[in-house]
């Protein structure tokens, strides 16, 4: 029976670490880390995530700068909002909530964010550096960074392990694979066109599932003892709920739990870590800018 990794509890302890750093930066360096979250449109799921990001900022003592634009805002308006935030000294990080409405060129908007404030790590320069040996990105995307944090804080070793990433999206699958390679795992990416995914997944010590297909990965696809991180968030009909739906992952949780060594639930696994990593990236950016080393932060505040 797998150990269920509690993403909410791990994210909460990271929030405490961040609050510690924020207090030091505010009191000793006179810098209150500021995160700008930009939302374009009224998608319900995006509004939920944006609310969570803003609430988390308040909880750890960070400043939240809110930019809410209507769904029909022209691209130029979104680009101008980003340029204003780039120039605002109170803003240390900018998160433009994805997906953007279809009339807006996502690449253009993400490329307009100053790389020093690209706390989502989506700027092509940051992704490019993540992909290159010997180069260090300023920021790593939050979902894959959260996956690694969950593995490491649960005692799962990564080096020399066989890892399979299911999905190849720019913000999840692809950067997750790049991070695992940096940590010396041997990595295979399985995607929607891969023949016989089961035969590949069943050899993995570590699985990061991010394809967006409800309950796709079954118990008999899993090597006994493997670590399974479920990044899928799929809404399935559930008439017993007031909302009429519930969230499930890409992994058939109940059956995989019987075989795996570690597993994350949905909800309550990677989700809360995405927000925690965004705050972590923002605070780390401020530390880098004012040359406050984290060891010094912990020494002086503990």
Ligand X SMILES: Nc1nc2c(c(=O)[nH]1)N[C@@H](CN(C=O)c1ccc(C(=O)N[C@@H](CCC(=O)O)C(=O)O)cc1)CN2
Question: What distance in Å separates the CA atoms of residue 66 and residue 39, rounded to the nearest whole number?
Answer: 8
Active-site residue, selected from the candidate residues 53, 117, 145, 287: 53
**Smallest distance from ligand X to CB 235, Å:** 9
Residue closer to ligand X (CB basis): 77 or 203: 77
Q: Is 120 a catalytic residue?
A: yes
**Smallest distance from ligand X to CB 3, Å:** 18
Q: Is 238 a catalytic residue?
A: no
**Smallest distance from ligand X to CB 266, Å:** 6
Contact 201, 137 (CB under 8 A): no
Contacts to ligand X by CB under 6 A: 48-49, 52, 95-98, 120, 142-143, 171, 233, 247, 266-268, 271-272, 274-275
Closest residue to ligand X: CB criterion: 271
Residue closer to ligand X (CB basis): 157 or 170: 170
Active-site residue, selected from the candidate residues 21, 117, 118, 120: 120
Q: Is 223 a catalytic residue?
A: no
According to DSSP, the β-strands at 162-166 and 63-69 are unpaired
Q: Outline where the chain has alpha helix (H).
A: 7-29, 44-60, 75-87, 106-112, 124-131, 142-153, 173-182, 197-201, 253-257, 270-289, 294-301
Residue closer to ligand X (CB basis): 113 or 292: 113
Question: What distance in Å separates the CA atoms of residue 211 and residue 4, rounded to the nearest whole number?
Answer: 21
Active-site residue, selected from the candidate residues 21, 31, 97, 284: 97
The 3-state secondary structure of 252-272, one letter per residue:
CHHHHHCCCCEECCCCCCHHH
**Smallest distance from ligand X to CB 160, Å:** 29
222, two tokens: 């899993």
**Smallest distance from ligand X to CB 184, Å:** 25
Question: What distance in Å separates the CA atoms of residue 226 and residue 3, rounded to the nearest whole number?
Answer: 11
Contacts of 20 (CB under 8 A, 6+ apart): 297, 298, 301
Q: What angle do CA 140, 143, 149 make, to 5 degrees?
A: 80
Contact 39, 69 (CB under 8 A): yes
Q: Which residues are catalytic?
A: 53, 97, 120
């Amino acid at each position: 029976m797998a150990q269920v990794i509690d993403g909410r509890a791990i994210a909460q302890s990271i929030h405490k670490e961040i609050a510690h750093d924020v207090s030091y930066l505010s009191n000793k360096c006179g810098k209150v880390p500021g995160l700008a979250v930009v939302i374009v449109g009224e998608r319900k799921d995006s509004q939920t995530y944006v609310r969570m990001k803003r609430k988390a900022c308040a909880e750890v003592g960070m400043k939240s700068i809110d930019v809410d634009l209507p769904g029909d805002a022209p691209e130029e308006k979104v680009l101008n909002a980003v340029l204003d935030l780039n120039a605002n000294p109170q803003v240390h990080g900018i998160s433009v909530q994805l997906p953007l409405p279809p009339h807006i060129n996502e690449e253009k908007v993400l490329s307009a964010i100053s790389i020093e404030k690209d706390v989502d790590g989506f700027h092509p320069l940051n992704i490019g550096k993540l992909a290159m040996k010997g180069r260090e990105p300023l920021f790593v995307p939050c979902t894959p960074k959260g996956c690694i944090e969950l593995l490491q804080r649960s005692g799962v070793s990564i080096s020399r392990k066989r890892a399979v990433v299911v999905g190849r999206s720019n913000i999840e699958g692809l950067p997750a694979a790049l991070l695992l390679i940096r940590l010396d795992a041997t990595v295979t990416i399985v995607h929607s066109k891969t023949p016989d995914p089961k035969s590949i997944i069943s050899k993995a010590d570590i699985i990061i599932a991010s394809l967006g297909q409800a309950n796709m990965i079954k118990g008999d696809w899993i090597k006994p003892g493997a670590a399974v991180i479920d990044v899928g968030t799929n809404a399935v009909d559930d008439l017993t709920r007031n909302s009429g739906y519930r969230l499930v992952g890409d992994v058939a949780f109940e059956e995989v739990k019987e075989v795996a060594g570690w597993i994350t639930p949905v909800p309550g696994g990677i989700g809360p870590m995405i927000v925690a990593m965004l705050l972590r990236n923002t605070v780390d950016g401020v530390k880098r800018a004012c040359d406050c080393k984290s060891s010094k932060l912990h020494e002086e505040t503990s």
